[in-house]
Amino acid sequence: MIKQKPSAKSTLIAFLYLSPMLIIIGTFYLYPIVMSFAMSFYTKYNFYTNKVSEVGLSNFVTIWTDPDFIEALKNTIIFVVGVVPLSVIIALVIAILLNKINFAAGFFKTVYFLPFVTSTVAISLIWQWIYNSQYGLLDAFLGIFGIKPIDWLNDPHWAMTALIIMTIWQGLGFNIILFLAGLSNIDKRYEQVAQIDGANTWQRFRYITIPLLSPMTFLVSVTSIISGFKVFDQIFVLFGGNPGPGKSTLTLVFYLYEKFYTEWKYGIAAAAGVVLFTLTLIITVIQVWYSKRHVHYV
Amino acid sequence: MDVKFENVSLAYEHKNEVLHDLRFVIPKGKLTCLLGPSGCGKSTTLNLISGLLQPTAGKIFFGEQDVTKKDALARKVGMVFQNYALYPHMTVLENICFPLKMKKIDKKKRNERGENLARLVHVENELTKYPGELSGGQQQRVAIARALAKEPSILLLDEPLSNLDARLRVEMREEIRRIQKQTGVTTVFVTHDQDEAMHISDYIMVLDNGQIQQFADPNTIYDYPDNLFVASFIGNPVINKIPFSILRQDFSPIIPMTINEKAETLLIRAESIVPIRDHQEHLGVKLQGKVVSVQRYGHEMFVRLDVQGQELMVTGFKERDLLEKQQILEFTLRTNGVFIANSEKEVIWNATSV
Amino acid sequence: MTKKSISKILLYFILTLGGIIMIVPFLWMIVTALKTGSETAKIPPTLIPQNPQWGNFIKAWNAAPFLRYFLNSTFVMIVTTIGQIITTILGAFAFARLEFYGKKTIFILCMATMMVPSEMLIIPNFVTLSKLGMINTYAALIVPWLASFFAVFTLRQTFMTIPDELYYAAKIDGTSDWYFLWRIIVPLSKSTIVALATLEMIGSWNSFMWPMIATNSDKMRTLPVGLSAFTTDAGTQYQLLMAASTIIVIPMIVIYVFLQKYIIAGVTRSGLKG
């Protein structure tokens, strides 16, 4: 209704309000974005003198020919493929079940959501203990069914599985909450109409709930994929600061961390960061493209 | 305090002028309506008075004082909005007293004044409630009390009744009238509802396209519209508009030659079309038309007439004036509510002049 | 038994089973924390500690400077949260209510920061803070988190739902922008602000990678970093590790139970940001 033009005075006032936030965002978000792209091209860089004596593409060539990096990329993708579909499906099912009950629904929500508020370090320690090959709870439990003890954390064949199971367990609550939000946005009348039209429980689920929930399902998948790309804390603690037995859980961010923090190869670490950014960007672009093309029911 | 606009214009960024060269004086102690269709500039004019907007050109005076550069606070205006804009986290009394709190008036004094105002607007029993617990009408009463709390130089009401249902609207309209009379505060009321404006105002300013179409008291606006827009915007049912050429022959004897030459449109209010034996003063014309339909709604009677291919809405006939299944109806026109407009859409002749 | 009640029972059965899977690791943590060293090595594991060792908590607490870690974490969490909320309120108000040159450009630039993985920014931020001589200080743990554009964006959306007329009414009533922001907008947006604050508290308390990189002395460690370091000292003494884990987990669970409503609202919003 009333749109006053900005003036020099109003701009000055606005910047007084903005400046605390802008200084921080500028220094620790905007500037580093530019810097990390720049650093990925520094091939000779002295951290102490802050001198760049050579720039070029060789960092990218190096990581691309580094078997560790290829392994990290591969593991990251295996991790995402292992976690996301299962996590989304389990969360969806539990959310739908939770949506159907009244009694104790709040209690269940609290329980499922607990890992989200818990330190990843603590969670990883707990699971490290559960996965213990001698005294671990999981092997003891599987032993009841006659399954031989598995050395979850030291056997390269099982390490990734162990990581995936723990990550699904940890992220479930978050996804459930999102699905519940999506479900509560679906007008109850659709279900009622479908019931009048003669659809049974399964048909209502299949033809009403699932399609109406699909934008939320997509969103949950995207969020899970992006956070999957960034997995680090769990691995660090679960495998005692190592990228798993035989580097079987070496992921992109772990690679970045090693190059940066243990080997001091800033340029290479930055190049790995650029690859991480590109992966995130691709997913985001797909998301934007999808949201533009599809109607939002929810 | 009276409000004077001197050649006020307003232009938004990249857009044409929204208001062009406004000049008017809103008289002190009266209730003035700004009336017009949406987008005509009435709310913008109100915001210029309030000081929420500043004009691009021209000057605004409150009494003798030039307030053009002053903001809303310095102008000491009180304002009531369509959606009430009550602070949802404050009680009724806190809302009413808020402007006084801003003025740093001590608590005892301001609560006393707040309670008096609450009595004035009849919400004295709701003082400790929150806005969310009140009906729309009560919320609007609180909003009025809040606007009055600071003893405003001018009280501004921006479509205050539009969010209320029909019956409440009529009730609140009377209430606003009463409160205004009781306090004597100069009041400016924005509405798009001509009926509301006719009932509530001392003066009406009709606006269209950012320009004043007419500024007068309600009856003058109704009986002596300056132009085609005012004539057709005011009145329900909408005034009949037909090309003058159709009835030129019938009108020639009663209008001057000079008018006859320029006449373009004939405007006739529905209630001015009456049976020939009606008691009031008539124009010396005798016309006839074919009955298209007759509809009765309670005490109202709507007849549609076809006069040489033009349809006229008629409300001047009573049931007893109509014969059953009558096809052709003879009628005449009253001296009130018949106008002729020229090609510039200005009213150049009014039947009262006969 | 009707078909309906059978399906209800099945429903609760599945949810309970899931609930058990979710809660068992936490219970196992507490159970282990109460065992003796030799009991942790029993095969098969005992489900209830034979002789609860409450002293384990004290032992763990004293085995490493956990008090120091705890105070560090608390201090960093409080300062970051308060600071971030203040910068967020001010920034969100400017974007929601004020007109200024370059508004669109700045807004879009800031939006871009939400898309970038923060892991990527660790390297340049480390370099910046080293240059400022802030590595291994509280400043390194606090300053980079004093603003979050995600929070600004979320709060701006909330501020924008407050009708314009309220702003005009307040102006006419004689309030300044500053007063209007703190006395009217902020109270009305309380639930969003609390949600953002609790999310930040949880995030700060649990954050690991940055504090690990930005500090290198025992004195500056936060609880997660300290706990991770403690694993090297404790070795296989899982009863102590679990006792220490319990210490770090409990405060957030308490906060969570009290502020659950806000946290869930906040998570829902954060998930919907894309």
- Chains in touch with B (3+ beta-carbon pairs under 8 Å) read A, C
C186 Cβ under 8 Å from any chain B Cβ: no
CB contact under 8 A, C15 and A17: no
B246 and B180 in one domain?
Answer: no
Q: Which string of DSSP letters, residue by residue, matches C87-137?
A: HHHHHHHHHHH---TTHHHHHHHHHHHHHS-HHHHHHHHHHHHHHTT-TTS
CB contact under 8 A, B99 and C173: yes
Among the partner residues A126, A241, A280, nearest to C117 by beta-carbon distance: A280
End-of-domain residue from the set B211, B233, B255? B233
- For testing contact with chain A, the best of C123, C154, C210, C239 (most A CBs within 10 A): C123
pLDDT of residue C273 exceeding 70, the answer is no
Say if residues B271 and B235 touch (Cβ distance below 8 Å): no
B264 and B119 in one domain?
Answer: no
Residues of B in contact with A5 (CB under 8 A): 13
End-of-domain residue from the set B179, B209, B233? B233
Radius of gyration of chain B (CA): 24
pLDDT for B93 equals 95
pLDDT for A3 equals 63
Residues of C in contact with B85 (CB under 8 A): 163, 165-166, 168-169
Record the tokens describing residue B40, joined without a space.
């005509």
The nearest CA of chain A is from the CA of C140 a distance in Å of 11
pLDDT for A55 equals 79
Mean pLDDT for the stretch of residues B48-68: 91
Say if residues C26 and A135 touch (Cβ distance below 8 Å): no
pLDDT for A135 equals 86
Among the partner residues C7, C149, C168, nearest to A25 by beta-carbon distance: C149
Residues of B in contact with C170 (CB under 8 A): 87
Record the tokens describing residue A70, joined without a space.
């290829």
pLDDT for A170 equals 94
B250 and B221 in one domain?
Answer: no
- Chain B, chain C: beta-carbon pairs less than 8 Å apart: 50
B175 and B108 in one domain?
Answer: yes
B94 Cβ under 8 Å from any chain C Cβ: no
Task: Compute the distance between CA of residue B286 and CA of residue A12 in angstroms, rounded to an integer.
Answer: 73
Q: At what angle do helices A67-100 and A156-184 cross, to 10 degrees?
A: 40
pLDDT of residue A201 exceeding 60, the answer is yes
The nearest CA of chain A is from the CA of B102 a distance in Å of 22
What are the boundaries of each domain within chain C? 64-271
Which chain A residue has its CA at the smallest distance from C233's CA?
A240
Which chain A residue has its CA at the smallest distance from C118's CA?
A29
B53 Cβ under 8 Å from any chain C Cβ: no
Residues of C in contact with B78 (CB under 8 A): 172
Cross-sheet strand order for the sheet of B65-66 = B17-26, B3-11, B57-62, B65-66
Which CATH number do you get for residue B159?
3.40.50.300
Residue C237 exposure: Cα atoms within 13 Å on the Cβ side: 16
A101 Cβ under 8 Å from any chain B Cβ: no
Q: Percentage of chain A with pLDDT > 90? A: 47
pLDDT for C20 equals 94
The nearest CA of chain C is from the CA of A119 a distance in Å of 5
pLDDT for C43 equals 77
Q: Which string of DSSP letters, residue by residue, matches B331-347?
A: EEEBSSSEEEE-TTSBE
pLDDT of residue C272 exceeding 60, the answer is no
Look at residue B34 and give its three-state secondary structure.
Answer: strand
B183 and B49 in one domain?
Answer: yes
More confident residue, B233 or A296: B233
CB contact under 8 A, C26 and A126: yes
B26 and B8 in one domain?
Answer: yes
The nearest CA of chain B is from the CA of C100 a distance in Å of 14
All structural domains of chain A, each given as residue ranges with its CATH number in brackets, are 60-293 (1.10.3720.10)
The CATH fold assigned to C64-271 is MetI-like fold (1.10.3720)
Q: Smallest Cα–Cα separation from A191: which of A96, A63, A263, A82?
A: A96
Task: Compute the distance between CA of residue A105 and CA of residue B108 in angstroms, rounded to an integer.
Answer: 50
Domain that residue B289 falls in: 240-353
- Based on the structure, what is the number of domains in chain B? 2
pLDDT of residue C125 exceeding 70, the answer is yes
pLDDT of residue B324 exceeding 70, the answer is no
pLDDT for A298 equals 39
Question: In this structure, what are the phi and psi dihedrals at residue B84, rounded to the nearest 5 degrees?
Answer: 70, -40
The nearest CA of chain B is from the CA of A206 a distance in Å of 41
CB contact under 8 A, C231 and A123: no
Interface of A with B in 4-43 (CB under 8 A): 4-5
CB contact under 8 A, C171 and B52: yes
C174 Cβ under 8 Å from any chain B Cβ: yes
Any long-range contacts for B135-141 (C-beta under 8 Å, 24+ apart)?
A: B135/B168, B136/B84, B136/B163, B136/B164, B136/B165, B136/B168, B137/B164, B137/B168, B137/B171, B137/B172, B139/B84, B139/B86, B140/B80, B140/B84, B140/B164, B140/B172, B141/B172, B141/B175
Among the partner residues B82, B89, B102, nearest to C173 by beta-carbon distance: B102
- For testing contact with chain B, the best of A2, A9, A10 (most B CBs within 10 A): A2
The nearest CA of chain B is from the CA of C181 a distance in Å of 13
What letters, b where the CB count within 10 A reaches 16 and e where it falls short, cover B261-288? eebbbbbbbbbbbbeeebeeebbebebe
B306 and B201 in one domain?
Answer: no
**How large is the ipTM?**
0.87
CB contact under 8 A, C163 and B73: no
Interface of B with C in 123-182 (CB under 8 A): 146-147, 150
Question: In this structure, what are the phi and psi dihedrals at residue C165, rounded to the nearest 5 degrees?
Answer: -60, -30
Pairing of strands B203-208, B31-35: parallel
B138 and B113 in one domain?
Answer: yes
The nearest CA of chain C is from the CA of A59 a distance in Å of 15
Mean pLDDT for the stretch of residues A16-38: 93
End-of-domain residue from the set B208, B233, B258? B233
Q: Smallest Cα–Cα separation from B314: which of B346, B287, B347?
A: B287
B224 and B249 in one domain?
Answer: no
Task: Compute the distance between CA of residue A170 and CA of residue A174 in angstroms, rounded to an integer.
Answer: 8
B218 and B106 in one domain?
Answer: yes
Residue-wise pLDDT for C226-261, tens only, equals 999 998 887 778 899 999 999 999 988 888 888 888
Among the partner residues A33, A219, A253, nearest to C121 by beta-carbon distance: A33
Residues of B in contact with C163 (CB under 8 A): 83, 85
Mean pLDDT over each residue of chain B, to the nearest integer: 90
The nearest CA of chain A is from the CA of C35 a distance in Å of 13
According to DSSP, the residues that pair with B329 across neighbouring strands are B289
Task: Compute the distance between CA of residue B204 and CA of residue B5 in angstroms, rounded to an integer.
Answer: 16
Which CATH number do you get for residue B317?
2.40.50.100
Residue C15 CB neighbour total at 10 angstroms: 21
Residue-wise pLDDT for C130-140, tens only, equals 888 999 999 99
Residue-wise pLDDT for C34-80, tens only, equals 988 888 888 788 888 888 888 889 998 998 899 999 999 999 999 99
Say if residues B305 and B311 touch (Cβ distance below 8 Å): yes
More confident residue, C37 or C189: C189
pLDDT of residue A167 exceeding 90, the answer is yes
Task: Compute the distance between CA of residue A201 and CA of residue B291 in angstroms, rounded to an integer.
Answer: 61
C1: confidence class by pLDDT, cuts 50, 70, 90: low
pLDDT of residue B98 exceeding 60, the answer is yes
B191 and B43 in one domain?
Answer: yes
DSSP character at residue B227:
B
B279 and B219 in one domain?
Answer: no
